Structure 1
Amino acid sequence: MEDNKNVYRLQGLSCTNCAAKFEKNIRDIQTVNNVDLNFGASKITVYGDASIEQLEQAGAFDGIKVYPERQRQTEKKEPFWKNRENVMAMVSLFFIGIGYVLSFQLGEDNVLTIGTFATAILIGGFELFKVGVNNLTKFQFDMKTLMTVAIIGAAVIGEWGEGAVVVFLFALSEALEGYSMDKARQSIQSLMDIAPNRATIRRGDEIIEMDVEDVRINDVMIIKPGQKIAMDGEVVNGQSSINQSAITGESIPAHKNVGDEVFAGTLNEEGVLEVRVTKHAEDTTISQIIHLVEEAQAERAPSQQFVDKFAKYYTPAIMGIAFFVAVIPPLFMGGLWSEWVYQGLAVLVVGCPCALVISTPVAIVTAIGNAARKGVLIKGGIHLEETGRLKVVAFDKTGTLTEGVPEVTDVVPTSGMEQDKLLGIAAAIEEYSQHPLASAIIRKAEQDNTESYNAEDFQSITGKGAKALIKQITYYIGSPSLFHELGSVSNKIHQQIKDLQTQGKTVMLVGNEQEINGLIAVADQVRKGSPSILQKLHKLGVKKTVMLTGDNEGTGKAIGQQLGISEVKAELLPQEKLDAIKSLREQHGNVAMVGDGVNDAPALATATVGVAMGGAGTDTALETADIALMADDLDKLPYTISLSRKALNVIKQNVIFALGLKVIALLLVIPGWLTLWLAIFADMGATLIVILNSLRLMKSKYSD
């Protein structure tokens, strides 16, 4: 039942086979209706009733520990050499060494030699045999069952030394595999540790420290310099610089004043802040990020779906091959039973699909975790893979390639009026206007300390401009069409207007009923890094960059040239942006759309990969986009594409390596060279190399 749903975090989940077995054991609990295990995030969702004791009992075969999801877990970091199983493996190695010395001195068949190897097998393989024999009685064939069969088989046919070496190699690679998977999962663990689990709250005259789960919305949090912010909220008192790199990946601290939004997990660097809490602990931006990252890591990417399907047919095929290798040569070709049964055992061991099954998820877990730490939220393995195959990137213009805030670029007097006075008159009229261009003129007047004028009798002229009375003269400000109606635009001024418009600027005229006093040009400024970001994208192999804008053709083309963009589609309505994306998909296949996630939602949803800018604090961006750049920072886009391409390469390398090594090992059966220790070396070696290769993605960063 959905209503009785409990989520737990797991420790000690070592391999995909163990995960599947653990999940099956929980399903067998009568009071449990359904189970959903997320191997990448080491997390399980149980629908129905089951105590933690019952769940731990279900995972006892692998020593799995279960904790409630919201309980902060301080994991005891046990040194590698203090772990009981690792100690047993080292003791086993010691006995193997003695065994080989005795075999040289006394011979392989000596009772003392055999006894020493048998001791090594029992010490190093006790835990393995416990699970393997139990599995055998239930006809469950996983790696531990195959190993148990192989080692018992080796002992039966007198290969004691080899059996002991196999036990040690298996224990060693299990330890290394567990260590490697823990490293891959640390990316999520580090996210979970970002936000403090206690907050200092002022209620009335009392200041109380409490768990974040007990904090209520509208409580006031006190944050001192050097403290981390525990909850999302709004600054109600004080100002400070906040290091937001944990959420947005930005290295430069953001200055926060009263009314600004702050996020849980960010660091207060300077002043004391009072913050009104606006979200519960489970709804904070960092909690959403963790949830989305974990969901992303659980979602099967296309490569993983293929590998899982392949493994389903591959495993029975290998068991069939092992059986035929063991039986056909002795029956029909006069081979020795002991020799070919041994070869069959080796085929069983080498054929275990461990490395293959883990080849994709570990790469995806690592890449998505790395991206999240750098302020990029990738919402699934499928989006990671598709980003790696991008051919075309389309951008919304305003607020993505440009700052989205218009600025005055030119103030040109045309009738002998001083520049200062022209700007002052324009600002006086615009003081009453709601138009976005008005705020640009007012800002410019404030920056230049222009003399202020008093405007009276303000009137807006819909769609064209405004007029007001200043010092008994009626002044107008507005579009060239307004002044055409007044009949006062000379050819010279008309040419000046055209020149400014071809530079991508919006031109407003200031004048009275007798003459035009001057022109003011306003333009949306290109983001400083945009041109170099587009160059990086082309270097990465993106064939075409497209700008989609609602602006007029002239403005669009001017900005497109400034940026070095491949194609500009201007004067587009939201529906036309959508159609443009559809047509790009038809022509080129994989297309990304980069926008702010609010007004670009339909285009983001239609693109192969929708990338939203400034995801921190915007629920719309987190919901509609496949990838959210948490900071308003386009420079994260080349990094994301680069990481995705590296992840695709790593997955390909892993699959080729996992299969290649097995094929080579299986070919050794033909001349009879495949030994048990070589078989385990091939299988576990492949698994470890696949994991270590994937862990390279942890260090991935984009550079020129």
Structure 2
Amino acid sequence: MQDEANCCSHSQSIKSTQEADSCCSSKSTMKEADGAEKPHCCNSHDQKVTIASSNTIEERKEFRVHGMDCPACAKTIEKGLTALRDIVDVKVNYSTAKMQVTANNADAFIPIENEMKRLGYSIEPINQNNNIKIYNIEGMDCGSCAKSIENHFNTHPSVQNVSVNFSTGKMKIEHTSSVEEMISEVSKIGYKASLHSKNQPLQLNKGNKESGLIIMSSLLIAFGFIGSFTGVSALMSALLYATAMVISGYKPVKSAFYAIKSRSLDMNVLMSAAAIGAALIGEWLEGATVIWLFAIGNFLQTKSIERTRNSIRNLMDLAPPEAWVKVNAEIMKKPVEEISIGDTIIVKPGDKIPLDGEIIRGESSVNQAPITGESIPVDKEQGDTVYAGTINENGSLEIKVSKLVEDTTISKIIHLVEEAQEQKAPTEAFVDRFASIYTPIVFILALAVMVLPPFLGFGTWGEWFYKGLELLVVACPCALVISTPVAIVSAIGNAAKNGVLIKGGTFLETAGSINTIAFDKTGTLTEGKPKVSEMKALNVTEEELLSIAVTLENYSTHPIAKAIVDHANEKGIQAKNGELFKNIVGKGIQATIDGTLFYAGNPKLFTEMNISLENVKKHVQEIQNKGKTVVMIGTQHQVIGLIAVSDPIRETTASVLKTLKYSGVNQTVMLTGDHEGTAKMIASEAKVNRYFAELLPEDKVDIIKKLQNEGRKTAMVGDGINDAPALATADLGIAMGGAGTDTAMETADIVLMADHLDQLPHTIKLSRKALTIIKQNIWFSIIIKIIALVFIFPGWLTLWMAVLSDTGAALIVILNALRLLKFKE
């Protein structure tokens, strides 16, 4: 089949080098021959590895490669550079356009650029700044808090760049000062920071302390309120209210101070101003109630937000921290960080598998739901791959470790999902821009309301000052700002738990608007494993025909050849003694068997040899009409038999496509390199709306463009390697089988971790539901603000009601978004 045999098919063997790379500390030292320590820096993403046996030092550098057209280019570069002196290893990843070179010394890297130019490519070093660190931030209640932290650090002399993500609770910052100084600086603003670690245990929120302060404030307010009706002096009630304000308001006022200092106008500033303003005009009860409601709202919001953050953090608990390692005849328990590639680990029945690897002894059923979302356990035996975090249901397994703890599939999932959560979707970016304009406008309006009407003689100063305070509260766009990111984080978390990686809010939104999906045929709609379905022997027995066929196909790596060899092995048919094997590109193969020259190939091969096909033409036509591929076996004079090979459609393909249509995908398209007969048959079985046959990889790109020109929002589903150009051209690229392919996890916008399409309808429905909830949240937030603004001027809105409308709306928006965590088809 053409789409099985294209030039890019071997690229699955090209492993991603990005994760395998790590940078040494910029403060590390190396000894000179005289014993003096010489400082060196690894800012250029170099890695120095000391080899104890030879006392030599290997250096590793990473480069970006320009000019590669196909995975075959990667192999060319690897071979070309490996031939250079002192180059130890070269790994090139076509999909990410990255190259990792390991050499015996620094001088070995000098000729690489010229050699690359000679091969027809250009390179640039990839630099990694070791001053960039990630911190976990506790205590953020709203997106405006994140902006305040950013603004504060943008004025710090040792900070070059800072980005704070409210949804994930992380701060990515490039600084030259110490970690302790950064943590101290965050605490000044009213938040708590800790350096992020991959293996960091989950941080429990300080809920008990905060809830205790809120309860204390509520009691003080209640005593003051009751006292005002029982003869307690107004001064005593005011003191109780003031105490409650101090207890509940200490944190927001402190944060407000630093926000103003950083020229930010966040919710802490607005709420603090409203509470203090109420106290200044003698409305102590109002002021205390405002700050108390604000504290309750923040507490509930933080608790709710933690649920979305933990939806991903809990993935970290899937893989056990220790493993039983087999060392000679002894078995010992070790932390997973101390286990190396090639070590043998023992996993008992019922235990979680601690690291990715290959089974070398034993067989069992493995529950892969944490990785692929499949609820049914998968049978595994010797030679099969298993993943960290999956569960060994029954049977003891010996596993040869293939990846370090930081490179396991579950680690990559966590890393990719956290990165996805930090990317702003178009709607979120728009809402942030709107809020940045809305807040200062309403703030200025509030000041104008406080001053202008009483100055012009309309009403009293106290009356308009109170209305201005209400406007300050209404100016806080917390519910609006929080409406989108929480929904996106919840949806991405839901998808990850179901074996689907959505690489950002942008792709989530795009998936929600898709109305056309194009599928690669081989390995996507079909199983991708051709099988012999029928044989027609002429002048020889079927056993003799299969024996000759397996002799010819034994040395071929083509999927069809493999199908014939597997079929012969199942039947117990032995190959004959063959010699002088020769591959006939695009047509077949030849070899001499017992002195006779035999051929195996397509009808075109035998037609060009002027061999009459009249006696088999009818059989060939029948096989091709069934959507099967014909392999002819014959000599220089005649055809001695036909073997029909077919790639069966997946059992769930038709039902998945039917479900997609109910989900709003009104057109499904199949793209294949196979001939018309095969394409028509598979299209009929899969029940796709349209199909395009006999396509080269570049033709698939043209078809995607054609669908887009028809006004269709198009997604492309493929294996992430052979279909890379089409995946990139489509509005949304969806790769299947990410659990076994590093490249698929890097190239596509959405990755289905399982090797089938079963989770695709869930992904589309989840995306549409997310878009619906985002729209609900935005409209609800805007309508609440409009109602509050309208109710201010007739005097229908009190200050505490304004606070309740803001914090209450934010809480409702969060709870609405949290529904996405539990969303099922």
Are 1:533 and 1:638, in contact at CA under 8 Å, matched by a contact in 2? yes
Report the counterpart of residue 791 of structure 2 in structure 1: 668
Range that drifts further, 433-442 or 596-605:
433-442
Range that drifts further, 679-688 or 402-411:
402-411
Deviations along 1:581-635, one digit per CA (max 9) or x if unpaired, are 2222222242111100111111111111111111113121112111111111211
Are 2:598 and 2:633, in contact at CA under 8 Å, matched by a contact in 1? yes
Alignment partners' CA distance in 2, 1:523 and 1:604: 26
Deviations along 1:241-267, one digit per CA (max 9) or x if unpaired, are 332221222223333334333322222
Alignment partners' CA distance in 2, 1:284 and 1:645: 31
Deviations along 1:175-229, one digit per CA (max 9) or x if unpaired, are 1011011011012211222222333434556655433333333333333333323
Alignment partners' CA distance in 2, 1:57 and 1:342: 37
Report the counterpart of residue 141 of structure 2 in structure 1: 14
Deviations along 1:338-386, one digit per CA (max 9) or x if unpaired, are 1111011001101101112211111111111211111111111111111
Report the counterpart of residue 593 of structure 1 in structure 2: 716
Report the counterpart of residue 16 of structure 2 in structure 1: none
DSSP-derived class of the 1:75 partner: coil
Question: Structure 1 residues 329, 249: CA separation in 2 closer, same or farther (over 3 Å shift)?
Answer: same
1:70 pairs with 2:198: yes
Question: Structure 1 residues 260, 8: CA separation in 2 closer, same or farther (over 3 Å shift)?
Answer: farther
Alignment partners' CA distance in 1, 2:244 and 2:598: 99
Range that drifts further, 142-151 or 650-659:
142-151
Are 1:37 and 1:45, in contact at CA under 8 Å, matched by a contact in 2? yes
1:100 pairs with 2:225: yes
1:563 pairs with 2:686: yes
Are 2:717 and 2:727, in contact at CA under 8 Å, matched by a contact in 1? yes
Question: Structure 1 residues 375, 320: CA separation in 2 closer, same or farther (over 3 Å shift)?
Answer: same
Question: Structure 1 residues 422, 138: CA separation in 2 closer, same or farther (over 3 Å shift)?
Answer: closer
DSSP-derived class of the 1:647 partner: helix
User: What TM-score do you get using the length of structure 1 for normalisation?
Assistant: 0.90
Range that drifts further, 63-72 or 521-530:
63-72
Are 1:392 and 1:544, in contact at CA under 8 Å, matched by a contact in 2? yes
Deviations along 1:459-517, one digit per CA (max 9) or x if unpaired, are 668325657768x99986554456665755446x4233212212211123457789866
Which residue, 658, 673, 690 being the options, matches 1:535?
Answer: 658
Instruction: State the aligned residue count.
Output: 694
Report the counterpart of residue 553 of structure 1 in structure 2: 676
Deviations along 1:104-153, one digit per CA (max 9) or x if unpaired, are 4549x844444443444344334334444665677653222222221222
Range that drifts further, 11-20 or 424-433:
424-433
Deviations along 1:12-55, one digit per CA (max 9) or x if unpaired, are 44332322333344445443333333333222333234444323
Alignment partners' CA distance in 2, 1:126 and 1:436: 70
DSSP-derived class of the 2:307 partner: helix
Are 1:222 and 1:273, in contact at CA under 8 Å, matched by a contact in 2? yes
Report the counterpart of residue 47 of structure 1 in structure 2: 174
Which residue, 326, 332, 350 being the options, matches 2:450?
Answer: 326
1:56 pairs with 2:179: no
Are 2:241 and 2:288, in contact at CA under 8 Å, matched by a contact in 1? yes
Are 1:243 and 1:266, in contact at CA under 8 Å, matched by a contact in 2? yes
1:385 pairs with 2:486: no
DSSP-derived class of the 1:598 partner: coil
Alignment partners' CA distance in 2, 1:149 and 1:234: 62
Question: Structure 1 residues 400, 169: CA separation in 2 closer, same or farther (over 3 Å shift)?
Answer: same
Range that drifts further, 65-74 or 330-339:
65-74
More helix by share: 1
Alignment partners' CA distance in 2, 1:606 and 1:513: 46
1:88 pairs with 2:213: yes
Range that drifts further, 329-338 or 24-33:
24-33
Question: Structure 1 residues 176, 433: CA separation in 2 closer, same or farther (over 3 Å shift)?
Answer: closer
Deviations along 1:146-183, one digit per CA (max 9) or x if unpaired, are 22221222223232322232222111101101101101
Q: What letter matches 1:67 in structure 2?
A: L
Report the counterpart of residue 163 of structure 2 in structure 1: 36
Are 2:190 and 2:251, in contact at CA under 8 Å, matched by a contact in 1? no
DSSP-derived class of the 2:530 partner: strand
Q: How does 1:390-405 map to 2 (within 5 A)?
A: 390-405=514-529
Report the counterpart of residue 688 of structure 1 in structure 2: 811
Alignment partners' CA distance in 2, 1:453 and 1:20: 71
Which residue, 705, 709, 718 being the options, matches 1:582?
Answer: 705
Alignment partners' CA distance in 2, 1:188 and 1:428: 52
Report the counterpart of residue 507 of structure 1 in structure 2: 630
DSSP-derived class of the 2:527 partner: strand
Structure 1 spans left out of the alignment, 5+ residues: none
Report the counterpart of residue 370 of structure 1 in structure 2: 494
Which residue, 335, 338, 343 being the options, matches 2:467?
Answer: 343
Are 2:138 and 2:192, in contact at CA under 8 Å, matched by a contact in 1? yes
Report the counterpart of residue 154 of structure 1 in structure 2: 278
Are 2:449 and 2:467, in contact at CA under 8 Å, matched by a contact in 1? yes
Report the counterpart of residue 617 of structure 1 in structure 2: 740
Alignment partners' CA distance in 1, 2:770 and 2:478: 20
Structure 2 spans left out of the alignment, 5+ residues: 1-42, 44-128
Report the counterpart of residue 244 of structure 1 in structure 2: 368
> Per-residue deviation at 1:427?
5.0
Alignment partners' CA distance in 1, 2:740 and 2:560: 27
Question: Structure 1 residues 585, 202: CA separation in 2 closer, same or farther (over 3 Å shift)?
Answer: same
DSSP-derived class of the 2:528 partner: strand
DSSP-derived class of the 2:133 partner: strand
> Per-residue deviation at 1:9?
3.0
Are 1:17 and 1:142, in contact at CA under 8 Å, matched by a contact in 2? yes
Alignment partners' CA distance in 1, 2:495 and 2:323: 28
Question: Structure 1 residues 77, 358: CA separation in 2 closer, same or farther (over 3 Å shift)?
Answer: closer
User: What TM-score do you get using the length of structure 2 for normalisation?
Assistant: 0.78
Alignment partners' CA distance in 1, 2:140 and 2:268: 15
Are 1:40 and 1:294, in contact at CA under 8 Å, matched by a contact in 2? no
Alignment partners' CA distance in 1, 2:822 and 2:738: 23
1:520 pairs with 2:647: no
DSSP-derived class of the 2:421 partner: helix
Are 2:152 and 2:259, in contact at CA under 8 Å, matched by a contact in 1? no
Report the counterpart of residue 353 of structure 2 in structure 1: 229
> Per-residue deviation at 1:556?
0.9
> Per-residue deviation at 1:275?
3.0
Q: What letter matches 1:325 in structure 2?
A: V
Q: How does 1:285-300 map to 2 (within 5 A)?
A: 285-300=409-424
Which residue, 360, 377, 381 being the options, matches 1:257?
Answer: 381
Question: Structure 1 residues 340, 499: CA separation in 2 closer, same or farther (over 3 Å shift)?
Answer: same
Report the counterpart of residue 656 of structure 1 in structure 2: 779
> Per-residue deviation at 1:305?
1.4
Alignment partners' CA distance in 1, 2:137 and 2:265: 24
Deviations along 1:293-331, one digit per CA (max 9) or x if unpaired, are 111111111111111111121111111221232233323
Which residue, 308, 318, 325 being the options, matches 1:184?
Answer: 308
Range that drifts further, 129-138 or 328-337:
129-138
RMSD: 3.0
Q: What letter matches 2:203 in structure 1?
A: E
Which residue, 405, 416, 438 being the options, matches 1:281?
Answer: 405
Alignment partners' CA distance in 1, 2:263 and 2:167: 27
DSSP-derived class of the 1:242 partner: strand
Deviations along 1:511-567, one digit per CA (max 9) or x if unpaired, are 778986654322110111111111111111112211111111111111111111111
DSSP-derived class of the 1:59 partner: helix
DSSP-derived class of the 2:651 partner: coil
Alignment partners' CA distance in 1, 2:613 and 2:820: 62
Alignment partners' CA distance in 2, 1:453 and 1:92: 87
Are 1:106 and 1:113, in contact at CA under 8 Å, matched by a contact in 2? no
DSSP-derived class of the 2:816 partner: helix
